[in-house]
Every structure is written in C-alpha cells, then in structure tokens.
Amino acid sequence: MAASMRAVVFLLTRPSWTWTAGAVVCLMVATGAAQSSVPRPPNAEKPTTAVAVPHPPEKQPSPVESDDDSNTIRVNVKLVNVFSTVTDATGGPVTTLKQDDFRVFEDGKPQKIAVFQRESELPLSIVIAIDASLSTRNEHKLELESARRFAHAILRPIDAVTLFQFSEVVDQLTPFTSDMRVLDKGIGHVRNGAATALYDTLYLGSDALMRRRGRKVMVVITDGGDTVSKTSYQEAVRAAQEAEVILYSIIIVPIESNAGRDIGGEHALIQLSRDTGGKYYYASSTDQLDSAFKQISDELRTQYLIAYYPSQRLSDSEFRRIEVKIDPATKDYPDPAELQVRHRTGYYTMPSQ
C-alpha cells in the first residue's frame, strides 16, 4: 500500500453515528450540517482514495511483469513516508540529527532518502478514544480531564482532533475539529456503557484517519480489555498499518487491585503501539496520565519525516518491512549507540480485500 504523508457522533446539530458489533447504524439528526460518509465495517468493500504525493526524482519505469513466479507481487513504486522518533538514554527526544545520520532499509535492502524534515510542521489528525466501559468507571473523571488538557495543549489551527468513546458500541462524539469548544462539549457527553469493543475502536479510528492528510495519530485510554468486538486483533493491526496510524496507548491500572486485568489485551496494545511507531504508558493517577499526555505531545512536536521510493518493485509478500537506523559514525550526537529510533515496522503493498 502506498503510504501517505503522516497522525468522535456529531453533537446536537451534527450527524450522530453509533457503531455496533458487526454493523454500523447511522442516526441522522436533521440539520444543515455538511454530509459526512459513514465509516465502513471490517468486511465492507473499501473505495479507492486518491492521495497526492511528491513526484519521484526520475520518471518511474513501467510496471515489471512476473513471467513465472505466481507468488511474486507487483506493486507501484510510490513514496513511502516513515515518521520517526529518536530518543536518548533517558527517553528524551533528540532533535539535532541530519539526513546523513539516518540509514533506511526495506526488507533488508538500503534505500535512498528522498525527503527529510526535522520537527515536522505537517498537520496532525488525532483520534482520542476513551474507554467508557464499566471496568474503567472509577477513572473516568481523571481520564476526561487529562484528555481535555492534552487537546488544549497540542492543537494548532492546522490540526484537528476527533473524540471517540467506546463501550459495547463505538461512538464518534465530535467531527475532526480544531475548535476547543466543540471538543469540550464532546468530552462532557462521554457516558458509561457496559462491555468493551476495543478492537472495533482501533479499526474504526484507523478508518476515520485513512482519508486524512499529514500525520495521523490515535491516543487510546483504556484498561486494555476487549469483550465484544467483531473485529479481530489482526484486522485492527492491518487497518492501523494501512492508514499509517501512530498509536499511543495509555493503559489504566486500577489502584486498588490488579485482579481482573486483561493482560492479553494489554499486550496486544503494547505490540500494536510498537508496530506503528508509537508508545504505551501505564497510569493509575492524574499525575501519571498528565505525564503520559505531555510525553506524547513532546514527541509529536519533535518527529522526523523520512521518505523514500522503494528500490524493489517485486516482492514475495504484500507486507514490506522497514528499518531505520542511526549511522554509528554520526558526529551530530556524542554517543550514537545509545539512541533509540521508533517508527512503523512496515507497510502493505496492497489494500485489504
């Protein structure tokens, strides 16, 4: 899949959407608001979306056909964007590196960097998804207040945030907006539910970000459990990878006891955060929640954009793995060996069916 440049039910007079397991129910409130498309369920056919990307430095050759190997997949060579976060030994962002300090590999083969930007000013599209199930009811107040402070701190006029709540259903409480009044009103409408449709939320949040331009980010606040989703973990992972979402997971740990925690759900969130170039945090207090949101905000302001045109047109797999490394000979940092680079692990050359 070609990567784009990188990253919740309308209120009152806006359209209001509610997704249930395996179905999407659109509740339209009669208004003069502009019509919006309803997100697709996991197995629905996906329309083609045109994405503008920079032209390659040289004319692209005609697609190469595979004569004999029926397992070989042919793809169009398009710009692959890799948003990367570099941190030092203390976990703090490193923002002083140059293009020559990075090495990029696709399926183990070195790639030539075509685009490089530091501290990207590309717009941010952020899905904030709040677990409203009964298992997190005691933490709702601190979750909502921390989310509100994060949105106020991160938003610029070019950015947009949408708010989701999820329990046994997934509700989009606001459209993508940079208007804090709309977001504050949406946060005020979060209501408790019963079960937890976490994977449905990851899928539908990724779907909402698919058509956005710039950087695409999802911040999920949850205790990690999933009890009613119709979407599988694998479908949620693929949706996030195809939409080029960077996932940040804030996992709420009960203060009183760890009994009843869904360790499997936590591990799934941790792995998905790593695979998309994001990060996970544990929190059990307002201070820890605020700290997690602050770290996310700092990272989103200090990312590197690295983009390349794949040198190989043929592959034995529809998923290509990406690796970004720091040149050990760099002079732009005293001890390059201590630097850690986070980025998405790869991309799909073809959309899911």
- pLDDT tens digits along 18-32: 443 333 333 333 333
Widest Cα–Cα separation across the chain: 63
Residue 213 has what pLDDT? Answer: 92
The model's pLDDT over 31-63, given as tens digits with 9 standing for 90+, comes to 333 333 334 445 444 443 333 334 444 444 444
Q: Is the pLDDT of residue 280 over 50?
A: yes
What pLDDT does 161 receive? 97
At residue 256, the pLDDT reads 46
Q: Write the single-letter amino acid at 209.
A: L
Q: What gap in Å lies between CA 300 and CA 288, rounded to an integer?
A: 19
- CB contact set of 232 (below 8 Å; sequence gap of 6+): 199
What pLDDT is stored for residue 242 in this prediction?
95
What's residue 2's pLDDT? 39
Structure-token pair, residue 288: 């820890």
10 or 102, greater pLDDT: 102
How would you list the strands of the sheet with 346-348, edge to edge? 109-111, 102-106, 319-326, 346-348
Identify whether the C-beta of residue 154 lies closer than 8 Å to the C-beta of residue 300. Answer: yes
Give the per-residue pLDDT at 262.
64
Residue 224: band (very low, low, confident or very high) from pLDDT cuts 50, 70, 90: confident
Q: What is the pLDDT of residue 121?
A: 80
Q: How confident is the model at residue 73 (pLDDT cuts 50, 70, 90)?
A: low
Per the structure block, which two tokens stand in for 65?
């056909």
Provide the pLDDT for residue 254. Answer: 65
- Quote the pLDDT of residue 6: 41
CA within 13 Å, CB half, 186? 32
Residue 206, sorted as left (phi over 0), alpha (psi -120 to 50) or beta, turns out to be alpha
Residues 138-165 have a mean pLDDT of: 92
- Tell me what pLDDT residue 50 has: 36
Give the model's confidence band at 3: pLDDT under 50 very low, under 70 low, under 90 confident, else very high.
Answer: very low
User: Cα Rg for the chain, rounded, in angstroms?
Assistant: 20
Q: List the structure tokens of 45.
A: 């056919």
Length of the chain as a residue count:
353
Question: Counting beta carbons within 10 angstroms of the beta carbon of residue 328, is it exposed (0 to 12), middle (13 to 18) or buried (19 or more)?
Answer: exposed
Question: Which position has the higher pLDDT, 72 or 213?
Answer: 213
Under 8 Å between Cβ of 73 and 315:
yes
Contact 242, 351 (CB under 8 A): yes
Residue from 38, 111, 41 nearest 81 by CA: 111
